[in-house]
Amino acid sequence: MSRRWVVTGGSRGIGLAVAKRALAAGDRVAVLARRPPPELAVTLGETPHLVLPADVSDPLSVAAAMASVAAQWGGIDVLVNNAGLHRGGKLERLPLEDWNAVLATNLSGAMHCLRAALPHMGGGASVVNVGAVVGFRGFPGDAAYGASKAGLAGLTQVMAVELASRQVRVNLVVPGFVITEMTAAVDERARERLLARIPLRREGTEDEIAEVIYWVAGSTYMTGAVIPTDGGLMCNL
């Protein structure tokens, strides 16, 4: 049966790969992005989909988007909390506004989306949060991003327990070093050092992460799980 997806941060990177994977399976996908590019609808093809502007850090914006999806499709079956913001800097030099912006998007944003989607989700629905290795292992200069992703891991655990009685599953997929626009800014020396710590000795791809997210969304006896998809990085740190 066709499922109804909402994917935040779905205009590029892992989010776009997830949207394409679900559409390829015949599902319907609503892509939420702060500023969706005009060409996104063409990129997603002719399979039924929605492209909605929404800022996950703004609960009113998110609530309007979720209500629009539910009004057009009758409900939401899968929510993928993928929208992310990265601003680095050692703690003593990290601007407070950067700290607040990262947490507002990566952590509070996921909470806003979940709260807004829940009234439109029935039994059997699935939430997949997209974490990061830095939420479990320390990397210098990643205080804001690491704190936000660690918080998202905790939120996943609590929501898995709270929502189990409603038969709504909540899981966390943890990508490692993946080739995206966000990681393209990593300098070559840092990239080589990181690759040396990955047992598989390569970056992941957006499509590889999307495949895991798609599988987790459909795993009917999995909730509260943490699924590293990182080439072995976490077990080697």
pLDDT per position as a tens digit, 133-158: 999 998 888 999 999 999 999 999 99
Question: Which residues constitute the domain of residue 135?
Answer: 4-236
Look up the pTM and report it.
0.94
Q: Which residue did the predictor score with more confidence, 81 or 88? A: 81
Number of domains, the chain: 1
Which positions are catalytic? 145
CA angle (26 as vertex; 20, 29 as ends), nearest 5:
55
Q: Which two tokens mark 184?
A: 């393209």
CA angle (43 as vertex; 125, 27 as ends), nearest 5:
25
pLDDT at 182 (0 to 100): 67
- Cα separation values, 7 from 11, 23, 66, 72, 147, Å: 9, 12, 11, 16, 22
Q: What pLDDT, in 10s, does the model give residues 22-50?
A: 999 999 999 999 999 999 988 898 888 99
Q: What pLDDT, in 10s, does the model give residues 84-128?
A: 999 988 888 999 999 999 999 999 999 999 999 999 999 999 999
Instruction: Confirm if 7 and 32 have CB atoms less than 8 A apart.
Output: yes
Q: What CATH number is attached to the domain comprising 152? A: 3.40.50.720
CA angle (53 as vertex; 40, 29 as ends), nearest 5:
60
Checking if the pLDDT of 21 tops 90, the result is yes
Q: Label the pairing between strands 126-130 and 226-229.
A: unpaired
Q: What pLDDT, in 10s, does the model give residues 178-201?
A: 977 766 667 788 788 888 999 999
